[in-house]
Amino acid sequence: MTLEIAAFWAFAVVLAGAGLAVVLSKNLFHSVLWLALALVSTAGVFLTLDAEFLAAVQVLLYAGGVVTVVVFAIVVTERLVGERLSHTSRRVAAGAIVSAALLVFLVRAVSSARIDMPKPALTADLTRQIGMSLLTRFALPFELLAVLLLVGLLAASYFARPEE
């Protein structure tokens, strides 16, 4: 139990710190690498919630796929213009005020709601349950997701086609 709490706090601190580094870093490339750290620590948070399958998907798809694609896009665009991408921020004070206000609102809403129930004991293998409901109750959304990925693939290759 104490190990779980320590792991949660470690992952939470790394996640919040890496998130801040993503939005504050002056270098776009560093931002992407901090995002990779944030996504991996989110996988750690999923592990403390006994969602091993989701943690693996998070690392493979998000940290592996998304970060690779973003780095690839940065390299391609920097070669297109032949200079480094500028990565500055504007209206930092206004943005900080709005996000801090939203944070205060959300934290007050969370703390005033009486939801602090204990974590129920696991009755069955969660990965097995996810697989079962994915192919029974959620079979239609699952197939639609396949169509969406295909359309996204086609659209991305259409957008990025060579110039005529």
Partner 1 sequence: MGLSAYLTLAAVVFCIGLFGTMTRRNTVGILLGIELMLNAVNINFVAFSRFSGTEIGMVFTLFAICITVAEVALGLAIVILLFRTRRSATADHIDWLRG
Residue ranges in 111-130 that form contacts with partner 1 under rule CB under 8 A: 111, 113, 115-120, 123, 126, 129-130
Closest CB 9 distance from partner 1, rounded Å: 8
Q: Is residue 89 a contact point for partner 1 (CB under 8 A)?
A: yes
Closest CB 116 distance from partner 1, rounded Å: 4
What's the token pair of residue 110? 């969370």
Closest CB 106 distance from partner 1, rounded Å: 4
Ranges within 66-85 binding partner 1 (CB under 8 A): 66, 69-70, 72-74, 76-77, 80-81, 85
Q: Return the residue of 44, 139, 140, 163 that touches partner 1, per CB under 8 A.
A: 163
Q: Return the residue of 84, 139, 143, 145 that touches partner 1, per CB under 8 A.
A: 145
Show Cβ contacts of residue 39 under 8 Å, excluding neighbours closer than 6 positions: 58, 59, 62, 63, 66, 67
SS3 162: coil
Ranges within 34-63 binding partner 1 (CB under 8 A): 35, 38-39, 42, 45-46, 48-51, 53-54, 57-58, 61-62
Contact present, 69 and 35 (Cβ < 8 Å): no
Query: What amino acid occupies position 55?
Result: A
Count the alpha carbons within 13 Å of 11 in the hemisphere toward its beta carbon: 18
Q: Is residue 33 a contact point for partner 1 (CB under 8 A)?
A: no
Query: What amino acid occupies position 67?
Result: V
Q: Is residue 143 a contact point for partner 1 (CB under 8 A)?
A: no
For residue 96, the 8-state DSSP code is: H
Phi, psi (degrees; rounded to nearest 5) at 148? -60, -45
